[in-house]
Structures are given as C-alpha cells and as structure tokens.
Structure 1
Amino acid sequence: MPRSGAEARRRLREAALELYRERGFDRTTAAEIAARAGVNERTFFRHFPDKREVLFDGEAELRAALTRAVVDAPAGLEPFEVLLRAFRESARGLEASRPFAEPRWRVVAETPALRERELAKHAWLTEAVVDALRRRGVGAGVADLAARTGWAAYQHAVQVWIDDPAPGLDAHLVRAFDDLRALSSTGSSPADGS
C-alpha cells in the first residue's frame, strides 16, 4: 500500500493507463484501477473525481506554468516568441514523462470521451495563454489568434514527437514554429518532411 498521497496518485495514474491499454477505457472501472494500484476505491476518489481525470492529472499545474512563463518572458518579445519560450519550458516536463505521455496520447486518441475531454483541456489552456498575453499588453484579437495558432503548433509538435522521438520534443517544437513563420511570410513555404 502506498504511504504518501503523491505515491498513491502516481500508482493510480500508472494502473489506469495499463488497464486502459489492456481493456480499453470504457471497460475499465475506478474500482479496478484502485485494485491494480494497491489502494481502495475511496482512495481513488480522494485523488480523482472520475476515471477520465486520471489521464489529465497535472492540468492545473500546466496552466499555471504556461501562464507564468508567458507573463514572465522578457519584455520586447513578439507574441510568437513569448509562446515558443513558454511551450519549450512546458515541453521539458512532457519529454521527461514520455513513458506516461506516449501511451496516454494513444489511449486518448482511441477514445471519443477522452478526445472530448482533451479538447476541453486545450480550450482551457488556450484561454489561459490568451489572458497571459493580454496581461503583457497584447491586444485581444492578436492574443487570441497567437494563442490558438501557437497551441496548434505545440500540439502538432507533440504528435510528431510521439511518432519520431529521436530529435526530441524541443526540436520538433522549434521546427513547428519555424514552419508557421515560413507559412506567414510572403513567397516562402516551410521545408517539406515534418
């Protein structure tokens, strides 16, 4: 039995992911996750409100980190540069947790209820980035467009990294932002192959 709350939470996340991969999300219960993790069902619900949220643990921390990174970026940077810095910082954590991130991404991609929850997460995080850009003095329309476009580039980089981890998530992220810049430049097109 795990002794700390953090250890129980970690074990619940791992157990859920194992079971979702073995049986599928729909055929797995919170009780089964708890049993696999070596805790009781009450402990599961102390940590997570439902079986979906096991895969979205850390969302509030990510939102806070992205907001802080945007707000604290050096003055004088263009919105895209601010976003690239912020996403590169958050990417380090994702890259460090690849053993969980990769199978999690695959489970979410295969499960409609989880894809819906993932889209809600993206919208919530995008709004936080918009608000952080506005706090830097970026106009509402530009902040919204930059956050949505930057988030799309981030998600593209993560997907490419899942399929091709060798260069690292940071390299894929820089490439995605470079490709966006090239797409927006007159007469330029991004290099093929990403």
Structure 2
Amino acid sequence: MSRWEPNARGRLEQAAMDLYGERGYEQTTVTEIAARAGLTERTFFRHYADKREVLFAGSASLQELLVNALAEAPASASPIEAVAAALHAAAGVFDERREQSRLRQKVISANAELRERELIKLASLAAALGESLRARGVSEPAASLAAEAGIAVFKVAFERWIAGTDERTMGAFIQESLDELKTMAADSRA
C-alpha cells in the first residue's frame, strides 16, 4: 500500500457501509474495513476514532448547515419558519445520498448502541437550533419548542423519505410534515 491514497476517507466510508450491510455492524472490524478500502488500520484511525464514527461523521456538518441556514432566515420569519428554512436547506444534501441514507439507517436501527447515539445526535441538533433561535432574540419556551418541533419534523420526514418508493425529495417530505404540524396546531385551537 502506498503512503498516500486519494480519497481515503470516502473509501473507508464506502468499505464500512458495504461491510455493515453484508455482515452487520457488530460483526465488522476496523481491520476488515481498512483492508476492504485497501488501506491500513492506522489510516482508518487518522480519519475516524472508531467504527461507529463512520456512521456519525457528518453530524457536525449537518449541524453547521442547519444553524447557518437558520441564521440566514429573514428577520421577519417566525421561529418555526426559520427552523423550516434550515430543514429545507439540509434536505438537498440528503437527496444526493438516498441509498446511503437508507443503508445507514438500516445499520443504526439494528443496533441499540447506534440507536442511542442517533438520539443523542438529534438532541444535539435540537439544542443547536434552540441556541440559534435564542441568538435571534426568540424567548423561551418558544425557542426550545420550535427547535424540538423542527427536529421531530425532520425525523418523521426522514423516516418517510427513506421508506418511500417514489422519487419525491426529502424537501417534499419535510414540507408535508410541516404542513401536518400546522394542521394539528390549528385543530387544537378550534
């Protein structure tokens, strides 16, 4: 193996996802992932702290994307409208990775430790959105409620999107979920 390999991170991710799909997460070792990618374990650990991180390496980027999109929402946007803008901004990233997202979710769903980590990730996203709303001047409990509702919308839309057999975008599922939330809120006032 050469000292420098192009796209090592991408190759490691692909190898890990292939092996997780073939053998299962728990039965796959870092050694096997590195070998499948044509790299060394040392290279693996330069990119990921452990085999779990392959599945969660994009969390920081997703959080940054959501927070930045929320911050860029018009000042006149309500808290939930600002969160919706952030969710729609993130949707395009997912549309480019539908099959990878399906496989990733299948791996996570099959492992209790990974499901717990996914919930922690979602809680972190909600906290970051709430903090961004507070930075926009949104008071409590509105900031936390809008952030948590937004993550619930994201979770439901994501699950429907990966289970879907049609070609609708993640953004379409997000909009449907937002519309349903608005309908439920309106019904509760009636």
The normalised TM-score by structure 1 is 0.92
Matched residues in 2 for 1:187 and 1:82: separation? 22
The aligned counterpart of 1:178 is 179
The aligned counterpart of 1:138 is 138
Correspondence list, 1:66-81, <5 A: 66-81=66-81
Cα distance change on mapping 1:115 and 1:172 into 2, 3 Å: same
Cα distance change on mapping 1:171 and 1:139 into 2, 3 Å: same
The aligned counterpart of 2:119 is 119
Matched residues in 2 for 1:66 and 1:22: separation? 32
The aligned counterpart of 2:8 is 8
1:64-117: CA deviations, max 9, x gaps?
A: 111111111111111111111110111100111113111111111111111011
The one-letter code matched in structure 1 to 2:169 is G
Matched residues in 2 for 1:25 and 1:107: separation? 7
Moved over 6 A (4+): none
The one-letter code matched in structure 2 to 1:33 is I
1:24-78: CA deviations, max 9, x gaps?
A: 1111111111111110000000000000000112211111111111111111111
Secondary structure of 1:185 counterpart? helix
The aligned counterpart of 1:20 is 20
> How many residues are aligned here?
187
Cα distance change on mapping 1:36 and 1:188 into 2, 3 Å: farther
Correspondence list, 1:128-167, <5 A: 128-164=128-164, 165-167=166-168
The one-letter code matched in structure 2 to 1:65 is L
Shift of 1:188: 8.4
The aligned counterpart of 1:192 is none
1:131-159: CA deviations, max 9, x gaps?
A: 00111111131111111111001110011
Secondary structure of 2:76 counterpart? coil
The one-letter code matched in structure 1 to 2:153 is A
Contact 1:14–1:100 (CA under 8 A) maintained in structure 2: no
What stretches of structure 1 of length at least 5 have no aligned partner? 190-194
Matched residues in 1 for 2:135 and 2:69: separation? 12
The normalised TM-score by structure 2 is 0.94
Matched residues in 1 for 2:133 and 2:188: separation? 29
Secondary structure of 1:74 counterpart? coil
Matched residues in 2 for 1:167 and 1:20: separation? 27
Aligned-residue identity in percent: 41
Shift of 1:126: 1.0
Shift of 1:187: 6.2
Farther-moved stretch of structure 1 (164-173 vs 114-123):
164-173
The one-letter code matched in structure 2 to 1:83 is V
